[in-house]
C-alpha cells in the first residue's frame, strides 16, 4: 500500500511571495501526522496544494499513491477535509449541508451524520448563518468525517471548540487512527499536537525545518515554567538540575522562573523538597518552543 502522502520538492509561490518551498515529506498509512508552524509559516498553502486547490510552482505530491493534480477527483473521493477558514452556505441547515455534500459524493451518510452530531452535541436543524463559530466548526468536522475517509486532511481543526469538545475531537482522531486511517492535521498549538500526533513536522518561513516523533519533540522542546514556593528559594538551587537552561527569581519573590528542555522530572524532584504551592506552565510561543529544533536545523 503506498504511503498516504508523499511530497517531493513541493513548492508554491504566489508571484514572488513564497508559500511553501521545496517540501519533502512522507506520511505513512495509519499515523496521525501533526503539521506545526506559526501563522503564515506555510501550513495552509501546503494543505491547499496537496488538495489541488493550488497548483504547485515546482515539485509534486502523491496522495494515496495517486498524483495530486491529475487524479484529484479520485483522491477527493477518498479523503475528508476541513478548511482552515470555515465559511459555509449560510442559508442551509447543518443537516441540509451534510446531505448535499453526501449527495455530491454519491453516498448515504445519514446515520453517521446523526452519530457524529450527537457526539459533538451539535443541533443539525439550525441555519448555519445562525450558528456560533464553534458550531460551524462542528459542521465542518461532521462533513469531513461522515463518509469515513481513508485520509483526513484537517487545517487547524480544533479552532473555536471548547476544551470539552476538543477532547472529544481528539478522541475521534485517535479512533480514526486505530481503525487504520490516516490523519494529517495542522496546528499552531504544541500541546494539541503532542496530545494526538505520532509524528510532527515543523514548518517555519515556508520551509519544513524538522520532522520528529512526538517523543523526540518532547525531549527537545523548551518550556517556561514558574514554580511558586511557600517561602523564598534560591534559583541557583535549580541551575545545575538536568535539563534546566535558565533559572531566575520571579518578580513576586516567592517563586522561580525556569527554562527547561525535555523532561521536567529532575526539576520536580528537586522542587518537591521546598514546599511547592503552585506550578505554572507557560505554553510559550512556538518560536521559543522550537528553538532547539530550529537550532539543530540551522547548524
Partner 1 sequence: MTRSVFGHTLWERRRAMVGWTLGGVALAAFLVVFYPTLRDGAAEFQQLLEQLPSGMLDAMGIDPATFVTAKGYVEAELYNLLGPVLVIIYAVQLGGAAAAKEEHDGTADLVFTLPISRASVLVQKVAAGAVLLALLVATFLVVLLAGDPLYGMGLRVVGIVGINVALYSLGVFFGSLAFAAAAWSGRKGLGAGLAGVVAMLSFLLDGFAQIVDWLGWADRITPFDWYLRGDPLSNGAGPWQLFLIGLALVLVAAGTVVFESRDIGVARNLPRLRFGRRRGTASTSSSSWMLGHVWSWSVWIRRRSLRWWIVSMAAFTSLILSVYPSVRDLGGDQFGQLIEAYPTELLAVFGITDPASALEGPGLVSSRIHGSIGLVAVLVLGIGFGARAIAGEERAGTIDLVLTGPVRRGRFVIDKAIGLVATVTVVVAAGILAPMLVGAPLVDLGVTAEGMIAGNLGMILLVVLYGSLALAAGAWTGRPGIATGIATVAAVAGHLVNGFGAFVDWLAPARRWSPFYWYAGPKNPLSQELGWQQPLLAAVALLLVVVAVVGLQRRDVGV
Contacts with partner 1 by CB under 8 A lie at 14, 48, 51-55, 72-74, 76-77, 79, 81, 83, 85, 87-89, 91-92, 96, 99-101, 103-106, 140, 143
CB of 62 to partner 1, least distance (A): 17
Q: What are phi and psi of 67, to 5 degrees?
A: -70, 130
C-alpha distances out from residue 28 to 25, 32, 75, 150, 177, Å: 10, 9, 16, 12, 11
Q: How far is the CB of 170 from partner 1 (least distance, A)?
A: 23
Task: Pick between residue 106 and residue 273 the one whose CB is nearest to partner 1.
Answer: 106
**In the complex with partner 1, which residue's Cβ is closer, 103 or 278?**
103
- Is 92 or 270 the residue whose CB approaches partner 1 more closely? 92
CB 24 within 8 Å of CB 7: yes
The C-alpha cell of 234 is what? 534560591
CB of 49 to partner 1, least distance (A): 9
Q: How far is the CB of 250 from partner 1 (least distance, A)?
A: 36
Looking at the Cβ atoms of 76 and 119, the one nearer to partner 1 is 76
> Considering the complex, what minimum distance in angstroms separates the CB of residue 100 from partner 1?
4
Three-state DSSP class for residue 202: strand
DSSP H stretches of helix in the chain: 43-50, 72-77, 94-105, 110-119, 133-145, 163-178, 190-196, 214-220, 236-239, 265-271, 286-289, 291-298
Cβ nearer to partner 1, comparing 79 with 292: 79
Q: How far, in Å, CA of 104 to CA of 243, rounded? A: 54
CB 228 within 8 A of CB 285: no
Q: Looking at beta carbons only, is 182 or 260 nearer to partner 1?
A: 182
Helix or strand or coil: residue 159? coil
- Least CB distance to partner 1 at residue 182 (A): 16
Amino acid at each position: 500500500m503506498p504511503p498516504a502522502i508523499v511530497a517531493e520538492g513541493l513548492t508554491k509561490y504566489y508571484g514572488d511571495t513564497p508559500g511553501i518551498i521545496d517540501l519533502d515529506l512522507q506520511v505513512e498509512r495509519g499515523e496521525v501526522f501533526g503539521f506545526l508552524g506559526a501563522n503564515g509559516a506555510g501550513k495552509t498553502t501546503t494543505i491547499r496544494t496537496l488538495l489541488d486547490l493550488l497548483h504547485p510552482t515546482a515539485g509534486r505530491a502523491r496522495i494515496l499513491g495517486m498524483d495530486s493534480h491529475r487524479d484529484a477527483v479520485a483522491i477527493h473521493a477518498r479523503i475528508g477535509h476541513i478548511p482552515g477558514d470555515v465559511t459555509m452556505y449560510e442559508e442551509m441547515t447543518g443537516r441540509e449541508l451534510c446531505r448535499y455534500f453526501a449527495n455530491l459524493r454519491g453516498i448515504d451518510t445519514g446515520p453517521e451524520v446523526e452519530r457524529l452530531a450527537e457526539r459533538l452535541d451539535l443541533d443539525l436543524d439550525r441555519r448555519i448563518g445562525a450558528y456560533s463559530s464553534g458550531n460551524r466548526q462542528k459542521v465542518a468536522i461532521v462533513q469531513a468525517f461522515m463518509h469515513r475517509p481513508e485520509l483526513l486532511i484537517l487545517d487547524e481543526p480544533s479552532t473555536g471548540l471548547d476544551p470539552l469538545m476538543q477532547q472529544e475531537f481528539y478522541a475521534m482522531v485517535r479512533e480514526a487512527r486505530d481503525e487504520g486511517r490516516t490523519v494529517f492535521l495542522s496546528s499552531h498549538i504544541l500541546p494539541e499536537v503532542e496530545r494526538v500526533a505520532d509524528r510532527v513536522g515543523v514548518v517555519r518561513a515556508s520551509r519544513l525545518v524538522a520532522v520528529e516523533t512526538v517523543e523526540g519533540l518532547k525531549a527537545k522542546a523548551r518550556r517556561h515554567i514558574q514554580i511558586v514556593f511557600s517561602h523564598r528559594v534560591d534559583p541557583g538551587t535549580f541551575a545545575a538540575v538536568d535539563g534546566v537552561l535558565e533559572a531566575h527569581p520571579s518578580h513576586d519573590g516567592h517563586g522561580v522562573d525556569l527554562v527547561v528542555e525535555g523532561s521536567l522530572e529532575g526539576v520536580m524532584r528537586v522542587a518537591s523538597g521546598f514546599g511547592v504551592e503552585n506550578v505554572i506552565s507557560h505554553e510559550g510561543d512556538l518560536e521559543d518552543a522550537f528553538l532547539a529544533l530550529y537550532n539543530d536545523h540551522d547548524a
